[in-house]
Amino acid sequence: MAAQCAQESIYNLLPRLEEKPVKPPRYISTFRPSVKSEVAKNKAQWKTMGPAKVAVPSPKNFLQKHSKEPKLPASKKFFKCAPKLPALSVPRRTDHPVMGIQSKKNFINTNAVAAITGLPKKPQPIYVDRRQGDKYLLENSGLIPRYIKKKDYGVTPKYVTQRNEEMKRAQKEYEAGILEHLKKQAMKRLSDEERRSLLQGLKKNWEEVYHEFQGLSVEIDTIPKKLYKEKLESQMKQLEHDIEVIEKHKVIYIADE
């Protein structure tokens, strides 16, 4: 309702003048007259099959033989008569001139023997990249294992041996430092007999605990029984861990109290 009331106004009762939109002037190209003249010129000549008037060739101007070949200029005579050439001095048949070093070797026979007894040339190994491809030399293709035929193939490089020696030296220095540190802390190393006796004692303790674990009742229905069973299981696990550590490490250090 509010929108309908807003449309009513006293100004709407006054007559209004209709404003017509003004159109912009039409675009006309500057080349329009030249285009029209060119179209008019070319249009009238090609209304029929071909140009209206064609110059007919004369029957006298027919194509003659060798008429399109280029014509060379006339040769000029420089001399009225050709000069006389000097007489050639040709040796006679009876003359035997000596030319260079003479040899009695029969080159024909030697060449024939060399061709017969010589080994045939081996063809150069090639490879083709595809069925109808070009041929290439196999030597420079990288397909021949030339690297493994080197003299230093398989030999450990010097920098590798030097690095290994440095690592061994650093490991020895580290172990010596650890020994010195243990000596400063008054660490005592267990002998083989002490280690063996300690291991036997741990195993004996494990057997005793295991014997007590086997003596438990089948039905555990009270809290004290349950706590006692858990206690035995923890003792057995600890003993098994200690036995495994002592068996794994042959050298054991202990701190003096």
Given a cut of 50, whether residue 1 has pLDDT beyond it is no
- The per-residue pLDDT for 164 is 94
- The per-residue pLDDT for 10 is 76
The percent of residues in the chain predicted with pLDDT above 70, rounded, is 85
Helix (H, G, I), strand (E, B) or coil at 255: strand
pLDDT in tens, 197-210: 888 999 999 999 89
Find the mean pLDDT for residues 215-219. Answer: 83
Find the mean pLDDT for residues 213-228. Answer: 86
CA dihedral (137, 141, 144, 149) in degrees, to 10, reads 110
Q: How far apart are CA 73 and CA 78, in angstroms?
A: 15
Q: Give the H/E segment covering residue 175.
A: helix 158-184
In this structure, of 42-56, 68-82, 151-165, 231-245, the range with the lowest mean pLDDT score is 42-56
φ, ψ of residue 126 to 5 degrees: the values are: -130, 170
In this structure, of 13-27, 34-48, 243-257, the range with the lowest mean pLDDT score is 34-48
pLDDT confidence band for 51 (50 / 70 / 90):
low
Q: Give the H/E segment covering residue 253.
A: strand 253-255
- The per-residue pLDDT for 2 is 45
The pTM (predicted TM-score) of the whole model is 0.30
pLDDT in tens, 117-139: 988 888 888 888 887 888 888 88
User: Tokens 């002998």 sit at which residue?
Assistant: 191
What residues form DSSP beta bridges with 136?
127
Given a cut of 90, whether residue 67 has pLDDT beyond it is no
C-alpha distances (whole Å) from 72 to each of 21, 75, 77 are 81, 9, 15
- The per-residue pLDDT for 162 is 94
Q: How far apart are CA 34 and CA 94, in angstroms?
A: 97
User: Tokens 């070797």 sit at which residue?
Assistant: 105
Inter-residue contact 146 to 133 (CB < 8 Å): no
More confident residue, 236 or 152: 236
- The per-residue pLDDT for 174 is 93
Q: Give the H/E segment covering residue 187.
A: strand 187-189
Report the chain's mean pLDDT, rounded to a whole number.
82
- The per-residue pLDDT for 44 is 57
Indicate the residue type of 100.
G
What are the structure tokens assigned to 229, written together? Answer: 């069973």
pLDDT confidence band for 82 (50 / 70 / 90):
low
pLDDT confidence band for 172 (50 / 70 / 90):
very high
